[in-house]
Chain A
């Protein structure tokens, strides 16, 4: 087994790192403080092809593999968790389901401008009563002539008010499965500006504060029946498939946050002097850094393995769940230790590790909590 990256991946990492250092890092603190979506950065990322990395060229994308996309989210998140999740939600949660389940017409109409970065994408599955339990959906879609009429609401939607294209899930009926009546869930593409589609409250969050997290409200929102994504009743499958890919993106975000915190802690501990020598000269610091670096490396291998599985296999949910579970928990642990090693300064907003610790927490929650990842992993082990 050879762990050497191919030339194109090394070059891509250089590109993403240079872009992140030059365009994203200088704004990271301001984006966090002001909670303003970094529109200018999103436009620059669009111009440079960052919003369509794994999408084939014939659909306006860059034609690269999932590993290249993962590296992009990783490098962006190393300096700004908000910017990392903007790319991840757009690519994994909106481009990917349209690319996988969309008709040729839907791909031309929606995927091409999304992959070119002319439009931003979002994904609406979560509801107040349907978080981990996606079957708890209350939003309904009813066919009326040539249109579906959608009523209901979605919460905690990343890229909420900033997106142009939304992949939305709604109940379209009841079906019998193994003798039990369950909800039939279908998926729809909804455009911003569609009558009856509006935005509710903006969430005030602990971390990733520049990402636009909104409630989506549908009141007699009529979408053409051509906007049904996949087949009727295929929604749950589409959601689960999409989240498998999304988890790799969030795992990459978590990995990037952990790497960023580790880098900053290494430089800080070399500079900070106590008792007449740098704190890096203290054995406690050395052991903490060794543990942090080892866990970050292990997380990277799991995340890259999941990305390679997505590139080569039809099913990669197991690898995605392991990568997200581990990378998210490592991000939380490493950022917490980073703050500790920074001491009192690490608790202030002057230092990036404070923001990184807040940003890390969400990676254990969204796109499937750590508990859900354990369910997925154990289910595969015990089947």
Chain B
């Protein structure tokens, strides 16, 4: 689960990491009041920052410095409601529904601090770099020696000496080491307490008067741990997510929307990915990832159909089921009922294998509906790609 910068900074503040003064605003009035407050408190520069769940906001025009209240009002008006396009949003961009109105800082140096799970060592790793303000992936690829790492022993947690080592490697002044150590220790505690999978402060800055500040914050939580974090769950902003994915999550369906024309319904994540791959291999393009799980009920299958049909790009549906625990006849009956109840007119290609497959194929054959059955995954993929191409041709 992703959260906004302003939410992440609020968490950091609670753990003793210094962040600039600021307020979140959802209306121009709130933005104006927040800017007015900051200017009245003596800040010379205020920053208007678009709050969306994607990086690259500055380059996309979603972050602006302002020096007067009038400028703040005009800039807020320009950004709030805009369709912000960044390298992470895709070409359609993301609508800006929230702003962070924040005190400007006099930046001396831009550094990077991050915490992430290192899969290879199965440990949390604290990272620090002098190359702040840049895409850390680029730094890792081009100049990996510029990223310093400390691996954390889970039994004892991050130790002050480790944070101190990183602080010295950042080239901080002796007077700043204690504060930087405190920041890193706070980040680590927040990471563990909130079940984070990622936490980044980029840039982590030193100001002209030698202060340390978290100027940005990216924080992701482990979806699997949300059962023990009721208050963090409330930070979810569903307006940032694809509406169909939000709908699917209500039914506990594992659905990810893609751009293609062939919808897929599969049991199991690995087979679902492989099904997308074989569609591509057969010359088509998948419209989604959808794993209906091992114990899909008829209702689940109907829900899944509903989601697939809502995607207007979809021209054909590929159902690929390997019945293990999920019996093929149960699934087949579910598909037939759902297709009738929802008046599905799109071509449906099925590939069924596994437990009770003969009974399942019989149900499909006797349904009288517009189904095609492929005997192998390859054959079914070829059929569905042809069906989607026919449907597209019919539209022209």
Q: Do the two chains bind? A: no
Interface of A toward B, CB cutoff 8 Å:
none
Interface of B toward A, CB cutoff 8 Å:
none
